Structure 1
Amino acid sequence: MVGVLVDPRQRIMEVYSLQKETITLHDGDLFIVPEILPGWEFPVEEIWAPEFD
């Protein structure tokens, strides 16, 4: 199981998964969740809609 907290004010994503440390992602990082979506990746900066800029 994986949970993701998206904080547009700080422009970070926190990825929570069982028995793993929390991962904090920033612009320039890739959001990758191989347990759920193998082979899929998403640049963090693309999550921010223009109204968040």
Structure 2
Amino acid sequence: MTATQAAASLLVSQPKISSMETGRRRISPRDVRDLCKIYGVEDQRTVEALIRMAG
């Protein structure tokens, strides 16, 4: 999935996705949860671990 596709799925701008990917923008726990959903991450322990890292 491209950053443009991810942005469209989340209803955000492509530069926001790019900034999160490169670390120029802090990623929120909500962003992590939403990205996991669109990327198909189904293991709840993985999702929770990623959210903790973002928090």
Question: Does TM-score exceed 0.5, indicating one fold?
Answer: no
Higher helix share: 2
TM-score by length of 2: 0.27
TM-score by length of 1: 0.28
